[in-house]
Amino acid sequence: MEYNFSEIEAKWQTYWKENQIYKTEVDLQKPKYYVLDMFPYPSGAGLHVGHPLGYIASDIYSRYKRLQGFNVLHPMGYDAYGLPAEQYAIQTGQHPAVTTARNIARYREQLDKIGFCYDWGREIRTCDPDYYHWTQWAFIQMFNHYFDTKLQKAIPIENLVNHIEKNGTTELHAHGTEELCFSATEWNAKTEKEQQEILLNYRIAYLADMKVNWCPALGTVLANDEVSEGVSIRGGHPVEQKVMRQWSLRVSAYAQRLLDGLSRIDSTDSLKETQKNWIGRSEGAEMSFKLSDKELSFDVFTTRADTIYGVTFMVLAPESELVKTCTSPEQAAEVQAYLDATKKRTERERIADRRVTGVFTGSYAINPVGGTEIPIWISDYVLAGYGTGAIMAVPAHDSRDYAFAKHFNLPIIPLIEGCDVSEESFDAKEGIMMNSGFLNGLTVKEAIEKAKAYVEEKGIGRIKVNFRLRDAIFSRQRYWGEPFPVYYKDDMPYMLDESKLPLILPEVDKFLPTEKGEPPLGRAKNWQTEDGFPLELCTMPGFAGSSAYYLRYMDPKNDKTLVSKEANEYWRDVDLYIGGTEHATGHLVYSRFWNKFLFDLGLVCEDEPFKKLINQGMIQGRSNFVYRIKDKAPLTPLKGETVPVFVSLNLKDRYETTPIHVDVNIVTNDHLDIEKFRNWNPEYKNAEFILEDGKYICGWAVEKMSKSMFNVVNPDDIVEKYGADTLRLYEMFLGPLEQSKPWDTNGIDGVHRFLKRLWSLFYKDGILVLNNEQPSAEELKILHKTIKKVTFDIENFSFNTSVSAFMICVNELSALKCSKKATLEPLVILLTPFAPHIAEELYHVLGHTGTVCDATFPVCNEDFLVESTVKYPISFNGKVRFTLELPADMNKADVEKAALENENTIKQLNGATIKKVIVVPGKIVNIVV
């Protein structure tokens, strides 16, 4: 029997499916292990060969854990709501539900061919009402809770209402959008509407006017992580700032917990660093400055309270509410002109063009330590959204303030001994303070601490921690998303009763905004409650559905609750989470936040949802090029026709050429298939070629895998040609999991040959040659060396080196012509996580009737690995000259003696005096002369 992979793979995939081999249930007798892939957004393009990389890795680990006796949860689903489906719907009129279902079917078909061990019985789709029921439900809970800053957790909003009814805001520890101050009497005197408006200031899901990223091309608002450098990440459309009334999630309340939790996650430093930067904790002081001519003061945030004596001006953000207060009548016109000019510039322009701009307000503030008057300016380098939207400027020690001071000719006072601020500011936090009153003579670090304490003590301000992390804007003016379980009464939002969930996404005639400019849901008929109150027209963003999906997998069919207590207490958290780095700031922050919120409510038992995170690298494309000769008459010109002429790679320097991308699927080992090329594009039908050695050699380059580069490789084609096991092994063999690397189909023959060689240990010329002989010591050593290496490598996610180890093992066993059952059976089980189809086949060939998935992972027996001798490399001054085989148990002194007495040593020394001899037992001998 030959290695017929297509037959074998189809057979066992059917067997696994029919026997529900991958069905998972709570089993209190077994330890659990939860392996999760970041679920895909099913795009119309289908999977390319880069997508399964992480899935294969997680599949290997899942199968490995199962073979070790764990009850493994390994589910898969689809992040099915999203912009591309809706954009496509607008263009074609096809309902996104239809195209999404079609794309999912295609994804599933592709995934199934690779032989993953997913429990498809637990599949979820975020656009499924049974699923988004719980997304809507969580939103209601967030609306009904506030964040207590003292307890650092979510608390029912009724508790807050009770508190303010009795005490107003006194002793209220609630994270709010603004710091409000009112008494119980004032509260009780307010109308229902006014009270509701105030509560929005505290709710974890809240509605507020805020500056948002508005993307006109997409017709929607975007979250900060959906925007990069002033354009949308999806589509690259310009984004502008706009004030709109939007739903937001109070993620910022959880900033400290999100930061603290990082230490409990096992992941790379770079990922933690990215999250840390995104959260952006900075410790400093909030200081109050009085206006010189009014009984008013305003706060600034600084991390450098020590530089207070160097403040020579103040700067307000153009959007700051203080602008109005501070602008003097004389300056009003100039200020207005500046604000107008700033408003016109998009964020993109502001980033691209860093010129210094600003305007004087006409007002002065008083320095709380020196009493000097300092001018108040307005400039767009100060952001309204960070800190208080106002800063104290210390040009000597801040580069931005320095640039501003130089431009407007404002004074610069150096505060650190010996610093030179004639050309640039001195930003480093080092040196000895001067010109700073009570801080003089201290180091900067001491001064920062002393100044903070001083500020607090004198009542000038208070110590404060600021975070960069913003609340997540949660409204999207789109159709294809979860409807909010919200209706409006007297313009105030109210939650639907939980019994009305799920609130089903309604049908609309077009997926476009209404004539009035309302979101698409404005087109839905009867989009109101039974009592006639209008429902929310926005839908939720993409990250809504992906924030708690890992919890739903634990109990996907439950219609009473998101996840039952039993299921949650068994599966608890994700032990291993594999996915791309692109989610480091978005999904991973939101889902951690969402989980912490549910944890506060006592609904989940772990505060951090993911124990270990691995980011697989990107699979890049490897493009091929042909070189078209420019303006060159063809070799054999046809009458009245110009024929394109292409020159082979190594001859191209003799001509002027234009490189042209060519489909990698018609190139093998960089040799162009000329016939296929002529058929590939009608333009090249009559193309002529200048060959080298009778071949056309293509150039190549590593680029992003994309249609336009013609370098997309489809996993289906690979499975078709080589089989799923080969694909799985090859994806792992390409290189370290976490590293980005180009896909090059050329190397795939190597792993395919390996599988055939393994097969030939069982079948020689189609005849089963398996025997029951006892394995030799040598064979046992080969086997156990491999068990040890592969086990170690799997534990360390070094799958590329485990594939090498398998190759070495099979090469060595082939050389020994070993077809012994006792040797091959453990090897087959060892290989199961990597190549499950061939392993299942061979396991049955070995005489088993059950599935190899439930076999026991072999354990290395060190006794078989003991060597009786060691080949010592003998080196002179660190250069190895020869090796010397000595007994393994020989002691250090004897090894030294043996090495020195050896004739090769005497020859090498050639009479030189030995200065020193280093012997590392079992390793090496180094003789220093």
Partner RNA sequence: GCCCGGAUGGUGGAAUGGUAGACACGAAGGACUUAAAAUCCUUUGGCCUCACGGCUGUGCGGGUUCAAGUCCCGCUUCGGGUACCA
Residues of span 726-765 touching RNA by CB under 7 A: 733-736, 739-742, 744, 746-747, 749-751, 753-754, 756-757
Q: What angle, rounded to 10 degrees, do the helices at 777-795 and 52-67 form?
A: 120
Taking phi over 0 as left and psi of -120 to 50 as alpha, with beta for the rest, 719 belongs to alpha
User: What span, in angstroms and rounded, lies between the C-alpha atoms of 72 and 46?
Assistant: 28
Q: Tokens 């270990």 appear where?
A: 612
Q: Is 623 in the site for RNA (CB under 7 A)?
A: no
Nearer to RNA, 242 or 685 (CB): 242
Q: Is 869 in the site for RNA (CB under 7 A)?
A: no
Q: Is 447 in the site for RNA (CB under 7 A)?
A: no
Nearer to RNA, 716 or 793 (CB): 793
What are the tokens at 88?
């496509």
- Evaluate whether 71 touches 22 at the Cβ level (below 8 Å): no
Find the shortest distance in angstroms from Cβ 656 to RNA. 25
Task: List the interface residues with RNA, window 909-928 (CB under 7 A).
Answer: 916, 918, 920, 923-924, 926, 928
Find the shortest distance in angstroms from Cβ 769 to RNA. 15
Percentages helix, strand, coil for the chain (3-state, rounded to 5) are: 40, 20, 40
Task: List the interface residues with RNA, window 669-688 (CB under 7 A).
Answer: 669
Q: Is 306 in the site for RNA (CB under 7 A)?
A: no
Across the chain, which distance is largest between two alpha carbons, in Å?
A: 106
Nearer to RNA, 103 or 302 (CB): 302
Find the shortest distance in angstroms from Cβ 33 to RNA. 25
Q: Is 238 in the site for RNA (CB under 7 A)?
A: no
Find the shortest distance in angstroms from Cβ 444 to RNA. 13
DSSP class of residue 534 equals B
Q: Candidates 26-34, 300-308, 565-573, 597-605: pick the segment binding RNA (CB under 7 A).
A: 300-308
Q: Is 802 in the site for RNA (CB under 7 A)?
A: no
Q: Candidates 165-173, 174-182, 276-284, 835-843: pick the segment binding RNA (CB under 7 A).
A: 276-284
DSSP class of residue 535 equals B
Find the shortest distance in angstroms from Cβ 29 to RNA. 37
Task: List the interface residues with RNA, window 881-900 (CB under 7 A).
Answer: 881, 883
- Evaluate whether 659 touches 627 at the Cβ level (below 8 Å): yes
Nearer to RNA, 362 or 750 (CB): 750
Q: Which of 63, 122, 153, 304 binds RNA (CB under 7 A)?
A: 304
Q: Which of 120, 137, 182, 381 binds RNA (CB under 7 A)?
A: 381
Q: Tokens 């079917």 appear where?
A: 105
Q: Is 94 in the site for RNA (CB under 7 A)?
A: no
Nearer to RNA, 27 or 283 (CB): 283
772 vs 332, 654, 823, CA distance in Å? 98, 65, 10
Q: Is 391 in the site for RNA (CB under 7 A)?
A: yes
Find the shortest distance in angstroms from Cβ 66 to RNA. 26
Q: What angle, rounded to 10 degrees, do the helices at 83-92 and 96-112 form?
A: 120
Nearer to RNA, 277 or 861 (CB): 277
Nearer to RNA, 471 or 744 (CB): 744
Local structure of 442: helix, strand or coil: coil
Task: List the interface residues with RNA, window 647-666 (CB under 7 A).
Answer: none
User: What span, in angstroms and rounded, lies between the C-alpha atoms of 858 and 224?
Assistant: 49
Find the shortest distance in angstroms from Cβ 671 to RNA. 7
What are the tokens at 482?
């979860």
Q: Is 273 in the site for RNA (CB under 7 A)?
A: yes
Nearer to RNA, 218 or 584 (CB): 584
203, exposed or middle or buried, with CB in 10 Å at 0-12, 13-18, 19+?
buried
Q: Candidates 71-79, 582-590, 775-783, 853-861: pick the segment binding RNA (CB under 7 A).
A: 582-590
What are the tokens at 65?
């854990």
Nearer to RNA, 414 or 520 (CB): 414
Q: Which of 217, 878, 894, 906 binds RNA (CB under 7 A)?
A: 878
Alpha-carbon dihedral of residues 798, 803, 806, 808, nearest 10 degrees? Answer: -100
What are the tokens at 190?
């307010």
Instruction: List phi, psi (to 5°) of 819.
Output: -125, 35
Find the shortest distance in angstroms from Cβ 733 to RNA. 6
What are the tokens at 874?
């003998």
Query: Applying CB under 7 A, what is the total number of residues that bind RNA?
Result: 83
- Evaluate whether 483 touches 535 at the Cβ level (below 8 Å): yes
Q: Candidates 76-84, 153-161, 193-201, 795-803: pick the segment binding RNA (CB under 7 A).
A: 795-803
Nearer to RNA, 613 or 807 (CB): 807
Q: Is 875 in the site for RNA (CB under 7 A)?
A: yes
Q: Is 277 in the site for RNA (CB under 7 A)?
A: yes
Which parts of 420-510 are beta strand (E)?
Answer: 461-467, 472-473, 486-489, 492-495
Find the shortest distance in angstroms from Cβ 701 to RNA. 11
User: What span, in angstroms and rounded, lies between the C-alpha atoms of 184 and 72?
Assistant: 54
Find the shortest distance in angstroms from Cβ 628 to RNA. 23
Q: Which of 41, 116, 278, 834 binds RNA (CB under 7 A)?
A: 278
Local structure of 314: helix, strand or coil: strand
User: What span, in angstroms and rounded, lies between the C-alpha atoms of 472 and 475?
Assistant: 9
Neighbours of 362 (CB within 10 A): 17
Q: Is 284 in the site for RNA (CB under 7 A)?
A: yes
User: What span, in angstroms and rounded, lies between the C-alpha atoms of 813 and 824?
Assistant: 9
Q: Tokens 């027209």 appear where?
A: 537
Q: Is 582 in the site for RNA (CB under 7 A)?
A: yes
Find the shortest distance in angstroms from Cβ 669 to RNA. 5
Find the shortest distance in angstroms from Cβ 809 to RNA. 10
Binding-site string for RNA from residue 804 to residue 833, where x marks contact by CB under 7 A and - marks none: x--xx--x---x------------------
258 vs 254, 276, 472, 573, 836, CA distance in Å? 6, 9, 14, 16, 39
Task: List the interface residues with RNA, window 122-161 (CB under 7 A).
Answer: none
What are the tokens at 616?
């697989």
Q: Is 798 in the site for RNA (CB under 7 A)?
A: yes
Local structure of 582: helix, strand or coil: helix
Q: Is 222 in the site for RNA (CB under 7 A)?
A: no
Q: Candidates 122-130, 327-335, 440-448, 579-587: pick the segment binding RNA (CB under 7 A).
A: 579-587
Q: Is 317 in the site for RNA (CB under 7 A)?
A: yes
What are the tokens at 542?
């993409």
- Evaluate whether 695 touches 651 at the Cβ level (below 8 Å): no
User: What span, in angstroms and rounded, lies between the C-alpha atoms of 335 and 358?
Assistant: 9
Tally of CA atoms within 13 A in the half-sphere of 616 that contains its CB:
26
921 vs 890, 915, 924, CA distance in Å? 8, 19, 7
What's at 172, amino acid-wise?
L
Q: Candidates 18-26, 236-244, 375-383, 838-846: pick the segment binding RNA (CB under 7 A).
A: 375-383
Q: Is 880 in the site for RNA (CB under 7 A)?
A: yes
Q: Candidates 328-336, 377-385, 494-502, 779-787: pick the segment binding RNA (CB under 7 A).
A: 377-385
- Evaluate whether 113 touches 537 at the Cβ level (below 8 Å): no
Find the shortest distance in angstroms from Cβ 207 to RNA. 23
Q: Is 466 in the site for RNA (CB under 7 A)?
A: yes
Taking alpha carbons only, the member of 271, 253, 251 closest to residue 262 is 271
Q: Which of 801, 848, 897, 921 binds RNA (CB under 7 A)?
A: 801
- Evaluate whether 844 touches 125 at the Cβ level (below 8 Å): no
Local structure of 723: helix, strand or coil: coil
Q: Which of 190, 193, 294, 354 binds RNA (CB under 7 A)?
A: 354
Q: Candidates 82-90, 350-358, 628-636, 641-649: pick the segment binding RNA (CB under 7 A).
A: 350-358
Nearer to RNA, 21 or 830 (CB): 830
